[in-house]
Every structure is written in C-alpha cells, then in structure tokens.
Amino acid sequence: MARHTGARERETRREREEEVNVAMPEELRPVPDLWAYLPGTWHTERTARDLASGEEGRFSGVTVFGPATAPEEGLVQREDGDFVWQGVSRPAGRTLRLLPGATPSSADVRFADGREFHTLDLAEGRFTATHPCAADLYEGEFTVLDADRWRTVWRVRGPAKDLVLTTRYARTGGA
C-alpha cells in the first residue's frame, strides 16, 4: 500500500511539474537597450508555488529601477510589498544591483551586498539564467512581453525546496 501511495505522489508531482513547464506561445519583444527599458516603477505580482506541498503564496508590491549612486554602478532594483503565505501577510522586499554588461542589452545582476546572482541579456526578448545557492539550484527565465510588461519564472530545486516563483511586472508610469 505504501508503495502505491508513493507512486501516486510521484505521479501527482510530475503532473504539477508538467503544468508549470507548459510553454505558452507568445510574441517576444527584443530589448536592445536594457538601461532604457527598465528604469521606472513597475507594479509587481509574484506567486510562490511549492510543488511538493501544493501550497501557494502571493507577493504584491512595487519594483523601482533607479540610478545607483554613480552612473557606472548601473541601476538599483528595489522591491517592496506584502507577501501572503498560509493566510499570513508580512512586509517583504529586496534590493538587487544591475551593473553594466558587455552590451547595452545586458547586465550583471548582483545581490545588495555585491555577491553575484546571474547575468541578464534581453536582446532577444527572452533569457535564461542559473544561480547555484548552497544545495539549491535556481533556473530562471526572463520574458519581455511588450514595452510595459515582462515576466520572470524561477524554478528552484534542492533537498528542501521544490518551488516555482512567477513574477509579473507592469509599468505604472510613475518614476
């Protein structure tokens, strides 16, 4: 009986993964100049889905891409909002730094403390990145939908993690 239950759990998990990995046909918007595209204020909605438990959390807030202290330091990405997990809402936020990459369409993304996170190049309108974090592996896909909307999907796998983090950004018009 336990063997049957384990097999069913694996099958359910596989079905959830397939549901997450379904590619949706869409037009991509190439971004030849990341530094002209990102600055400003973006309404931000994120779902954090635990594939193992089926639990889902939601972040809602604002992301501002603004200039760093010195122009050669690129942009600062500041995200602020509320995260709801299991019915409990908490303030949440993070800060990332985008340093100029090899081309105008690219950046070197770093954590606020300067540690490397991933590279980013939106020249084609879609980019995949990876980030090893201790025993976990983060695999991200960045997709530019149009002049005012883009999305990230991070698949996180590790000994204690089996997550999909989907974030949708929509330009608000504010600076």
| Mean of pLDDT values over 36-55 | 97
- CB-hemisphere CA count at 13 Å for 136? 14
pLDDT reported for residue 54: 96
**Quick check: 7 pLDDT over 70?**
no
Per the model's pLDDT, the better-predicted residue between 133 and 12 turns out to be 133
Return the number of other C-beta atoms located less than 10 Å from residue 31's C-beta: 24
User: What is the per-residue pLDDT across 57-92, written as a single tens digit (0 to 9) for each?
Assistant: 999 999 999 999 876 789 999 999 999 999 999 999
User: What is the per-residue pLDDT across 9-24, written as a single tens digit (0 to 9) for each?
Assistant: 544 444 444 444 444 5
Which of 24-33, 96-105, 164-173 is the least confident region? 24-33
Q: Any idea which fold 25-171 has?
A: Lipocalin (2.40.128)
Tokens representing 67 are 């200039």
| Mean of pLDDT values over 121-136 | 96
pLDDT reported for residue 12: 46
Domain locations along the chain: 25-171
**Quick check: 174 pLDDT over 80?**
no
What is the band of 112 on the pLDDT scale with cuts at 50, 70, 90? very high
